[in-house]
């Protein structure tokens, strides 16, 4: 994924978390949704893609999501509700990556297994990595993601009445 889908999930979750003043939660949760992809630094460090600590490895595991969620959740409001929502947003990242049609799957079940997983149904095109995202293929991926995630963006940005 090019990240648009992850950001859309974070925006929608932020709106759900704080329907009246959502901007702060939306920004924090959009960043939280992208957090597992900080593992692309592995490429610069020479860690192979297929390594457990490579891209889509441990940072995409469902059991790592509660750890990655701690700081962003505390930046929202330090409640269990925001912690659980942030954990769900971070966990959604690996699950969405497992719906993509290329690259390696996500190590969803690490540390039990380093196996990479895809779902049987993979409708989302995989994004080129790095500067190659600025290509015709990258544009195709971005447009496809926008279409898939319109409901999330609509929920996040739909105007609501302000309380009097
Ligand atoms: Zn990812």
- pLDDT, mean of each 10-residue run, the chain (164 residues): 90 95 96 95 88 94 98 95 98 96 94 97 87 83 93 93 70
**In angstroms, what is the span from residue 95 Cα to ligand 1's centroid?**
9
CA-nearest of 78, 102, 98, 87 to 32 is 87
**Per-residue model confidence (pLDDT) at position 163:** 66
Tokens standing for residue 89: 């947003």
Strand partners, 106: 117
Distance of CA 37 from the midpoint of ligand 1 (Å): 5
Beta bridge mates, 117: 106
97 CA distance to ligand 1 middle (Å) = 6
Q: Using one digit for the tens of pLDDT, what is the confidence trace for 137-153?
A: 889 889 999 999 999 99
How far apart are the CA of 160 and the centre of ligand 1, in A?
32
Cα(152) to centroid(ligand 1), Å: 18
Residue 158 gets which letter from DSSP? Answer: -
Q: How far away, in angstroms, is 71 Cα from ligand 1 center? A: 19
Q: For residues 86 and 69, is the Cβ–Cβ distance under 8 A?
A: yes
Q: How far is the CA of 36 from the centre of ligand 1 (A)?
A: 6
pLDDT of residue 130: 74
pTM to 2 decimals? 0.92
Residue 159 CA, ligand 1 centroid: distance in Å: 30
**Nearest 5°: phi and psi at 106?**
-100, 140
């Amino acid at each position: 994924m090019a990240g648009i889908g992850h950001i859309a999930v974070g925006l929608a979750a932020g709106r759900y978390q704080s329907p009246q003043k959502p901007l702060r939660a939306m920004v924090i949760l959009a960043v939280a949704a992208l957090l597992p992809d900080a593992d692309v630094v592995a490429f610069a460090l020479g860690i192979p893609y297929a390594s457990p600590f490579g891209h889509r490895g441990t940072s995409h595991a469902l059991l790592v999501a509660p750890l990655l969620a701690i700081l962003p959740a505390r930046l929202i409001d330090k409640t269990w509700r925001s912690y659980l929502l942030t954990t769900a947003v971070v966990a959604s990242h690996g699950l969405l990556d497992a719906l993509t049609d290329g690259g390696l799957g996500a190590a969803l079940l690490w540390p039990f297994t380093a196996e990479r997983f895809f779902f049987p149904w993979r409708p989302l095109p995989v994004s080129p990595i790095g500067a190659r995202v600025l290509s015709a293929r990258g544009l195709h991926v971005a447009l496809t993601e926008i279409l898939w995630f319109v409901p999330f963006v609509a929920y996040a940005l739909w105007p609501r009445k302000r309380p009097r």
